[in-house]
Structure 1
Amino acid sequence: MKIAMIGTGYVGLVSGVCLSDFGHEVVCVDKDPRKIDMLLRGEVPIFEPGLDQLMAKNVAAGRLSFTQDLAAALDGADAVFIAVGTPTRRGDGHADLTYVTAAAEEIARTMTHYTVVVTKSTVPVGTNQMVADTIRRVRPDAEFDVASNPEFLREGAAIDDFMRPDRIVVGVTSDRARAVMGEIYRPLFLREFPILYTDLETAELIKYAANAFLATKITFINEIAQLCERVGANIKEVSRGMGLDGRIGNKFLHAGPGYGGSCFPKDTKALARMGQDHAVPMQIVETVIKVNDEVKRRMIDKVVDLCEGSVNGKTVAVLGVTFKPNTDDMRDAPALTIVPALVGAGAKVRVVDPQGKAEGEALLPGVHWADDAYKAAHNADCVVILTEWNEFRALDLAKLARKMTVARMADLRNIYNQADAAKAGFIAYTSVGR
């Protein structure tokens, strides 16, 4: 099948590359000439493990191409995916649908034959109907169907998630659209990955409900971690004891500095707003948002307390600033709350991150970027682990301690433990929930 993918951000590019690997002819469209130029040169504008090789493979096979010309991409296309950003709208928490609406209008003006318009972006309930209404308003004679196909990709593991999904959710309103979507995902159906067909509204809400539930698990375990610190319990053992229960599972039960990234913050806010708009308050979700913000601020207090009540004039080495490892994504990362607070309190902050510098330089003014953890720790008064990159999981702690003026560690990802830190020469160590 021929597919047009509007948007070459994280979701659009990963989805387009993977669909081309299924054997479809995919044309990725973006209005940003810089992105298209990069892609035409074989360069990937985002960091996702394995994406560059998979993209090169399918470009070489003639199944994947890139353009700014939507008309050319839609020529002969069976489906067009909308995979544009839906950031939180300033002031009210709603998802900003400006880019979705613009894409729908441009599709309407450009399409020449029956096409399934697939919303891949995360959008509030009712958006797909709005897309249909927009197309009909611009082109009353257009022949099309709208489908909802939310993504469930984890940054850092997106290719595997697309190729081996827990499920594929498809909201449709006609048998014709269902047949097109079934053909698009036929390679996964043949391998017996479950495809759940629903109405449009159910598909839209599944995405928000799933993300809000996972954000709730993270926030719950972070609250339990705070209680562990007060009563002398160990959060890692509590998490393991909970996770062994098959009804709960062990994923998303790792205490830390709070959730961030491109999905959980904006999706929880959007779901809370949807509840308010429909007079069904999402009280649990609203509390999750509040508690997650408090968790990030509590991490600042941990670092300050470790430094004997003040970081003013002290050098602090921060290891990791992306919201999770194996991504360059800084969106709503805990570092964006914690690092500026340390700088504002008078700390001299050095930062090291394998992929975060490109975005982080603009987002974290007033910090010095180092090449590795040991350089960051040179003559430092404290080391803070914010992101659990593999290179920070296997540090030579004794070497790290020797580099420092005062060997203190705030291990906000619970990678190490008190005994190992003390043995290596750290005079002070703190973690989360232990």
Structure 2
Amino acid sequence: METHLADWLKGTADGAEAEAILRKCVHCGFCTATCPTYQLLGDELDGPRGRIYLIKQVVEGKPATVATLSHLDRCLTCRNCETTCPSGVRYGHLVDVGRKLVEKQVRRPLGQRLVRAALREGLTRRWLFDPAMRVGQALRPLLPATLRDKVPERRPAGGWPTGRHERKVLILNGCTQPAMMPGIDAATARVLDRLGIETVVEARSGCCGAIRQHLNDPDGALADVKRNIAAWWPHVEAGAEAIVINASGCGAMVKDYAHLLRDDPEWGPKALRIVSFTRDLAEWLPEQLAAAAPALRDKLAARGAPKVVFHPPCTLQHGQQIRGAVEKLLASLGVPPLPVADVHLCCGSAGTYSVLQPELSRQLRERKLANLQAGKPDLILSANIGCLAHLQAGTGTPVRHWIEWLDEAMAAPG
């Protein structure tokens, strides 16, 4: 797509990136067919091709409008379009640039600014979010339905292993997951402990930066990124095998650190090394588990395995381009997941999207749950905290992280 940058954008990093991405787009429209918001709304400007056109207008100098902002806001950033695109258009990076430029030109209403600031500052600070979530869980039966949906029931996390092992990996000291579902990190640590691997949580690390990045706070996101790199660096230097991420949204963000810092001579090389050490749990664990898999498969067969279905988060299958890894692992243990129609489509969680676009998010969840529950599973498994909480709020079928299920399977007698 031929693009002529506005004079005020020429020579800037954002301009160069936007132009390079736009020039790859051939306007074929394949992306439109797999866009969740286009399927719901039927508006060309609420699909990737239309949004790309809007961003192109802005970078060429046409003033952004409230409508431009609204169409970009309705994008889930699920990146399904990237998987579909035959030309390799990096839409996720383009929409980040587009949103940044549009936000500078269009002032949001005060209510929107306050909500987005509360999400940006409240979700990313453990000292704020942890006690707020505990209060919310204690008062959950009294909360209105819309708020209750955002507060998952508290489940015991179980013990954290105390064994010391020569093999060590880092996991993220995340922002929302430890408060909402602490059992995910604990289950990860227990599974790895059984495999002779010690799980290290570096207290100086924190939010991966995705929340700030997607709420158009790039400077705050970069501060989160640099803090994490600095916190993990001594462990990487000391011989940690990997940074293993058990929330696919965070994994997608951490793997983007080198891109975000590509022009920084000090932090760029460190970011490259951090990214080279980063693995999603779904891509890293199957190899570690291979030796133990036959015995676990026999145990599951002897006591009867549940019917499970797996929802691959967009950040796993489109953001990280990891597809089929969890399903293959489950099948190798004698628990093949049930088939799911339209498995590539977003569930509607998308970080803070379910708060900012509740009606669209609800419609996407209803469609996703209808497909997931078509085979009447005993259990819905997924791989990202946002998807887990969002799906559970819409169904009575238990929704768990797949590592929690694996931990319980390995711990069960037999």
TM-score w.r.t. structure 2 length? 0.35
| Greater Rg over alpha carbons, structure | 1
TM-score w.r.t. structure 1 length? 0.34
Q: Which has the higher contact order (CA 8 A, sep 6+)?
A: 2
Q: Which has the higher strand share?
A: 1
